[in-house]
Amino acid sequence: MVYFFLAVAALIVGYLVYSKVVEANFGADTCKATPACRLEDGVDFVKMNKKQAYLIQLLNIAGLGPIFGPILGALYGPTALVWIVIGSIFAGGVHDYFSGMMSVRYDGKSIPDAVGYNLGSFAKQFMNVFSIILLLLVGVVFVLGPAELLAKKISFGFDDVVNAKYAWTALIFGYYFVATILPVDKIIGRLYPLFAVTLIIMAVGLSFMLIWDGYEFYPNGLSLANTNPQGLPLWPLIFITIACGAISGFHATQSPLMSRCIPDEKCGRPVFYGAMIGEGLIALVWATLGMTFYKTPEALQAVISNGGPAAVVDQISVTLMGPIGGFLAIIGVIALPITSGDTAFRSARLIIADFFNMPQKEGIKRLLIAVPLFVIGFLITRTEFSVIWRYFGFANSTLATVVLWTAGVYLVRHGKNYWIAVVPAVFMTGVVSTYLANAKIGFNLPYDVSCWAGIAASIGCFVWFMVKKGSLANSPDVFDGPGHIE
């Protein structure tokens, strides 16, 4: 139990200390008018207070990832805890802060534009396509996950869970569509603070009951040895498996939503970096539950094999909190993906709108983009969940890696300390390169060869960055909007 609270304390101290280092290095300026002040349109650019923006950002980014990912990551043992803490503070928090604040300085532009301003037009077009694919995968994952959980609780009179799941899928898609096209303050701005209450019940309630019922925390000890029952390698899989809750590229697609709403640049630290730490705390709780509620990794694997991570959520919640408390906890778990799925489709709409330079104030223009998106999303739901999750995991980490390199270039151009972004960028380059080389969805190379390929990719990108650093420092930021730093 002591180690659990030490990990919690480390995340909090990381926010209190390192987030200030990141903010000071960026140079947040209260004298600069934010996009919410200069470009308010009543739809996407809507000024919100710091507390409201934080709650929305937290619920935007905290989908199934910081629950399902840490449950699967718990199979690898306590290394998962170390990665959540270190990853959230030194990688995820940096990634989320810069993806949000670069957008603030770029008039609320979506992340492909921020990448393009720093890495060139080819990178921008690649990121346009890559981001939309990721957002569609996220939207679908965050439909199927909560639909499966809800179907087990409320069947609508259907005899089997499958038909009930289809009914819930249709209802959730309907909500997503409405939330995607309405102004951000009409549904998202009003409902998300309420969903935050169930989120608190879930995280705090389950942790308290774990202690109250006298569970021995981490009964298999705190060795960093790989305990995966299927013999899957720790490197790089744990870093792909636990993305949300440590570092997630999906967050970079969400941060611009709140970059269009924060009233002051000083809000960036609590809203962007702070929300990442909040998600890290959620991930820490679920990784601890996976390693503590189940006495062995084999016991956890057995439940996952029979019903997936959703079965783990259901069993833990009901056992620890009883039928009513368990239902409330599960509702909290359901609120997370639903409140990320709707903004995933909303972000996709905005990225497409930016690409075609199509203002979104008129409802018909929002519909022109949203309708085809949801048709494609529905078609993707016909694919097996496990297959979608694998592609989502790789795309998620790859996008995060690109954004970290973008932040590094941005910092060089503005004469700032680039190491805070470059070090995690080099690490994540190794992760995604090794995974792509070894995975079946990639090149399916032998594991040893893949590891060397990952190392080579990391070194190559780092050398490229250092060679280009001098010319980058002398090249101006191509963005010339009002938010541009002189």
Instruction: State the pTM of this model.
Output: 0.87
**Top-confidence residue, 204 or 4:** 4
Comparing C-alpha atoms, which of 285, 314, 313 is closest to residue 210?
A: 285
As a whole number, mean pLDDT of residues 287-316 equals: 90
CB 56 within 8 A of CB 292: no
Cis peptide before 482 (omega within 30 of 0): no
DSSP label of 195: H
Report the phi/psi class of residue 212: left, alpha or beta, with left for phi > 0 and alpha for psi in -120 to 50.
alpha
Question: What digits encode the pLDDT tens for the residues 191-239?
Answer: 666 676 666 677 788 899 999 999 999 998 889 999 999 999 999 999 9
> What pLDDT is recorded for position 218?
93
Q: How many helices (H) and strands (E) does the chain have?
A: 19, 0
Comparing C-alpha atoms, which of 329, 391, 302, 279 is closest to residue 149?
A: 329
> What pLDDT is recorded for position 448?
95
Cis peptide before 236 (omega within 30 of 0): yes
**Mean pLDDT, the chain, whole residue set:** 85
Two structure tokens written together for 335: 């609120």
> What pLDDT is recorded for position 421?
97
For residue 292, is pLDDT > 90? Answer: yes
Which contiguous run of DSSP H or E holds residue 306?
Answer: helix 297-355
C-alpha separations of 120 from 258, 432, 479 in Å: 25, 22, 11
Q: What percent of the chain has pLDDT over 90?
A: 42
For residue 95, is pLDDT > 90? Answer: yes
CB atoms within 10 A of CB 217: 15
CB 156 within 8 A of CB 167: yes
Two structure tokens written together for 408: 């590094």
* Separation of CA 76 from chain center: 21
CB 136 within 8 A of CB 154: no
* Separation of CA 384 from chain center: 21
CB 256 within 8 A of CB 81: no
Two structure tokens written together for 19: 């987030």
> What pLDDT is recorded for position 443?
86
As a whole number, mean pLDDT of residues 300-305 equals: 93
CA dist., res. 242 & res. 148, Å (int): 21
Q: What separation, in Å, do the N-terminal and C-terminal C-alpha atoms of the chain show?
A: 50
DSSP label of 484: -
Residue 158, classified by CB atoms within 10 Å of its CB into exposed (0-12), middle (13-18) or buried (19+), is: middle
Concatenated DSSP letters of 78-97: THHHHHHHHHIIIIIHHHHH
The residue assigned the tokens 């979104």 is 360
> What pLDDT is recorded for position 384?
66
> What pLDDT is recorded for position 486?
39
| Helix/strand/coil for 147 | helix
As a whole number, mean pLDDT of residues 296-307 equals: 91
Question: What digits encode the pLDDT tens for the residues 24-43?
Answer: 999 988 878 899 888 888 87
Two structure tokens written together for 410: 């941005």
Two structure tokens written together for 172: 């959730």
CB 21 within 8 A of CB 97: no
> What pLDDT is recorded for position 197?
63
Largest Cα separation within the chain, whole Å, is: 67
> What pLDDT is recorded for position 259?
93
Q: Is residue 310 very low, low, confident or very high in pLDDT (cuts 50, 70, 90)?
A: confident
As a whole number, mean pLDDT of residues 8-29 equals: 95
Radius of gyration over every alpha carbon of the chain, rounded to an integer in angstroms: 21
CA dist., res. 245 & res. 320, Å (int): 23
Q: Is residue 431 very low, low, confident or very high in pLDDT (cuts 50, 70, 90)?
A: very high
Question: What digits encode the pLDDT tens for the residues 125-171?
Answer: 888 888 888 778 777 777 777 787 777 777 777 777 778 888 888 88
> What pLDDT is recorded for position 104?
94
| Helix/strand/coil for 295 | coil
| Helix/strand/coil for 223 | coil
> What pLDDT is recorded for position 354?
78
| Helix/strand/coil for 477 | coil
> What pLDDT is recorded for position 383?
67
| Helix/strand/coil for 262 | coil
CB 341 within 8 A of CB 176: yes
Question: What digits encode the pLDDT tens for the residues 324-364?
Answer: 766 766 676 677 677 777 777 877 888 888 777 787 677 67
**The dihedral sign for the CA sequence 205, 246, 13, 404:** negative
Question: What digits encode the pLDDT tens for the residues 38-79?
Answer: 888 887 888 988 888 898 888 778 767 788 889 999 999 999
**The dihedral sign for the CA sequence 13, 17, 18, 19:** positive
Comparing C-alpha atoms, which of 480, 124, 103, 116 is closest to residue 260?
A: 103
As a whole number, mean pLDDT of residues 253-262 equals: 90
For 237, what's the count of Cα atoms within 13 Å in the CB-facing half-sphere?
Answer: 19
> What pLDDT is recorded for position 482?
56
Lowest mean pLDDT among 175-179, 187-191, 239-243, 324-328: 187-191
> What pLDDT is recorded for position 485?
45
Instruction: Report the alpha-carbon angle 175-179-184, nearest 5.
Output: 160
> What pLDDT is recorded for position 333?
66
As a whole number, mean pLDDT of residues 106-119 equals: 89
For residue 181, is pLDDT > 80? Answer: no
CA dist., res. 209 & res. 292, Å (int): 12
For residue 484, is pLDDT > 60? Answer: no
Instruction: Report the alpha-carbon angle 419-267-119, nearest 5.
Output: 40
